[in-house]
Amino acid sequence: MAKRESGSGLMSSAGLMRYFEAEDSAIKIDPKTVVIAAVALGAIVIFLNFTVAHTL
């Protein structure tokens, strides 16, 4: 039977801790804000496309 290394569990969990610690400094935006901004930007683009197309 193969021998198991005693330090392998600690090494794998250390990488996960670094990943979760790095995520604390990320910018947090509410998903509703992203959807509202996308809809507003889409409305602006459609409005500008409509107004510019009829002025030419």
Q: pLDDT tens across 9-23, in order? A: 555 666 555 665 556
Residue ranges per structural domain of the chain: 28-56
CA dist list (Å): 45 to 7, 13, 31, 51: 57, 47, 21, 10
Which H/E stretch holds residue 15?
A: helix 8-23
Task: Flag whether the pTM goes above 0.75.
Answer: no
Radius of gyration for the chain, computed over Cα atoms and rounded to the nearest angstrom: 25
CB-CB neighbours of 53 under 10 Å: 8
Q: Give the tens place of pLDDT for each residue, 6-56.
A: 545 555 666 555 665 556 667 889 999 999 999 999 999 999 998 988 776
Identity of the amino acid at 37: A
